[in-house]
Amino acid sequence: MALRNIPTHISQQFDKELNDLRSNVLAMGGLVEDHLTKALDALSNGDSELAEYVATHDYKVNALEVEIDEECTGILLRRQPAAGDLRLVLAVSKTITDLERIGDEVEKVGRMTVDLTTQESPKAYYVGILAMGNHVKRILHDVLDAFARMDSQAAFRVAQQDPEVDAENDAIMRQLITYMMEDPRSISQVLSAVLAVRAFERIGDHANNIGEYIIYFVEGKDVRHTSLEDIEQELNLSRNKS
d(CA 57, CA 53): 6
CA angle 150, 74, 140 (to 5 degrees): 30
C-beta of residue 199 within 8 angstroms of C-beta of residue 235: no
Tell me the whole-structure pTM to 2 decimals.
Answer: 0.89
> Average pLDDT, whole number, for the chain?
89
Per-residue model confidence (pLDDT) at position 2: 43
The H or E element containing residue 65 is: helix 59-79
Q: Answer yes or no: is pLDDT of 215 > 90.
A: yes
Q: Give the pLDDT confidence of 94-105 residue by residue, as tens digits.
A: 999 999 999 999
Instruction: Look up residue 7 and give its DSSP letter.
Output: P
- Has residue 122 got a pLDDT over 90? no
Tell me how long the chain is: 242
Q: Quickly count: other Cβ atoms within 10 Å of residue 85's Cβ.
A: 18
- Distance of alpha carbon 5 from alpha carbon 7, whole angstroms: 6
Give 128-170 as a 3 state SS string: HHHHHHHHHHHHHHHHHHHHHHCCHHHHHHHHCCHHHHHHHHH
Over residues 74-98, the pLDDT tens digits come to 999 998 888 889 999 999 999 999 9
